[in-house]
Each structure stands twice: as C-alpha cells, then as structure tokens.
Amino acid sequence: MDNIKLIINFLGQLLPAINITLIVSLSSIILGSLLGLLLAAAKMSESVVLRVLARVYVSVIRATPSIIMIFVVYYGMPMLFNNWFHTNIDGWNRMYFVIIALTVLFSAPASELFRSAHESISKGQMEAGLMVGMTPFQTFYRIILPQAFVVALPNFANSVVNLLKEGALTFTIGVVDMVAKAQMIVANNSGGYAWQTYCALALIYWVISLAVDKGVSLVEKSYQAKRKTIAV
C-alpha cells in the first residue's frame, strides 16, 4: 500500500515534465513524416541518383543507434554551422537538437512505411483515374492516398511508439523531460525510492502508448466507415 501511495506521489511530480516529452515527440513525428514522404518519393523516382541517395540515407540512419544520433547532432551541428556559415548556435535550446535528431531517425522508417503503403495499391487505379479525366494529383489525392493511409496506419502507430521510447534519451544532453525529472527525484532522495519513481515513469509511458494505439484504431475505423458510406 505504501508503494502505491509513493508511485501516485511521484506521478504528480513527473507529470509537469510531460509537456517537454510531448513537444519533442509531436514535433519529431510531424517533421519526420514530411521528410519521410520526400524520401519515399525519391525511392520511387525515375532518377537513379535520387533512388540510390534515398536508400543509402535510410540504410545509414537505420543502422545508427538513437543515442549516437543525438550526440552527433548536438555536438556536430554547432561545429558545422560555425565552419560553414560562421554562425554560433551554441545558445540554442537543447530541445531543438533532440527534435532534429529524432526527426532524422523517424524519417527512415517513415519513408519505408509510405513507400510500401503506396506500392500496395494497384497501379491500375492510378491509370483508371487518369482515364476518366483526373489529373495525376487528383488521382493520387482522391484514390491512392485514402487507401494508402489506411494501409499505413497500424505500422505508423508502431513507429510513433518507438519514437516515444527513443525520446526518453533526451536527458542525455541535459533536456529536462520526464526521464530527467525521474533521475532528479531519485537523486534528491539519495538514491532511495528509485523503484517507485521508475514505476511511475513507466506507467506514464504505458498510458501514452495505449492512447496512441487506441487513437490510431479509432481513426482507422472511422476512416473505413466513411469509405463504406461513400461506396454505398
């Protein structure tokens, strides 16, 4: 019973730091998705150069551990900006470096996800849309995208959950997110109550992950219901 009370108490201390975790995660997901779309387009391009560059990029990023990517961005970007643009960015909020690193990490699996979802749709549907007078953009937006969206959703949810877990490494460069806050709580208690503190932290991540899964499931069902209604 005492452990439960302690966990509840630590939940209250950790939750104020959730905004940093959510800002970092949401920003990285949005920017990483946009970059992933560009990479997916490059992979499906007729240009051999673009296809090769995109594949090399994805291979390198997927082989790079998250913590190394964060360190490379955090220590490397200021040096590059100083050497190339004679600009000092050492004063940037450390959260920006984490967002950039996670954006790069998220873009690699996102590109594969978008590419495979697009290729799962029959090419005949694109041709049919063009035959009835639609432009390539209209055909993609009205026919291909809605179907690819549904195909991509489940795996996209998995990628989001993975990003949330990778985001737990933001504390390594001094960003005070929930993990950093948990470490501060343990340190303030001279190493005591570590189990209860990290149980509270795990509960928050579990709830966020469940919310993501549930949210994606609801969106998927809603989207499929609308498509059935339109078809009828």
Give the tens place of pLDDT for each residue, 161-192. Answer: 999 999 899 999 999 899 999 999 999 998 88
How high is the pLDDT of residue 122? 75
How high is the pLDDT of residue 230? 53
Report which of 114, 108, 92 is spatially closest to residue 41, judged by C-alpha positions: 114
Q: How far from 11 is each of 5, 107, 220, CA to CA, in Å?
A: 10, 32, 31
The C-alpha atoms of residue 35 and residue 49 are separated, in whole angstroms, by 18
pLDDT, one tens digit per residue, over 109-148 is 999 999 988 888 877 777 788 788 888 777 777 777 777 7
Residue 229's pLDDT band, with cuts at 50, 70 and 90, is: low
Paired tokens of 55: 């594949």
Mean pLDDT, residues 194-210 taken together: 95
- HSE, CB side, 13 Å, CA atoms: give it for residue 49: 0
Sign, Cα dihedral of 171, 176, 177, 178: positive
Please, which residues have CB within 8 angstroms of residue 158's CB and are 6 or more apart in sequence?
A: none
Full set of structural domains in the chain with CATH: 2-231 (1.10.3720.10)
Report which of 61, 94, 65, 54 is spatially closest to residue 77, judged by C-alpha positions: 94
Mean pLDDT, residues 156-160 taken together: 90
Q: Determine how many CB atoms are found less than 10 A away from the CB of residue 33.
A: 19
Report which of 197, 30, 212, 174 is spatially closest to residue 97, judged by C-alpha positions: 174
Q: Are 213 and 157 in contact (CB under 8 A)?
A: yes
- Cα angle 136, 216, 105 (rounded to 5 degrees) comes to 75
How high is the pLDDT of residue 195? 95
Paired tokens of 99: 């967002």
- Whether the pLDDT of residue 228 is over 70: the answer is no
How high is the pLDDT of residue 19? 94
Residue 220's pLDDT band, with cuts at 50, 70 and 90, is: confident
The C-alpha atoms of residue 227 and residue 224 are separated, in whole angstroms, by 5
Q: Are 105 and 24 in contact (CB under 8 A)?
A: no
pLDDT, one tens digit per residue, over 52-102 is 999 999 999 999 999 999 999 999 999 999 999 989 998 899 999 999 999
**Secondary structure letter of residue 97 according to DSSP:** H
Q: Does pTM surpass 0.85? A: yes
pLDDT, one tens digit per residue, over 21-56 is 999 999 999 999 999 999 998 998 889 999 999 999
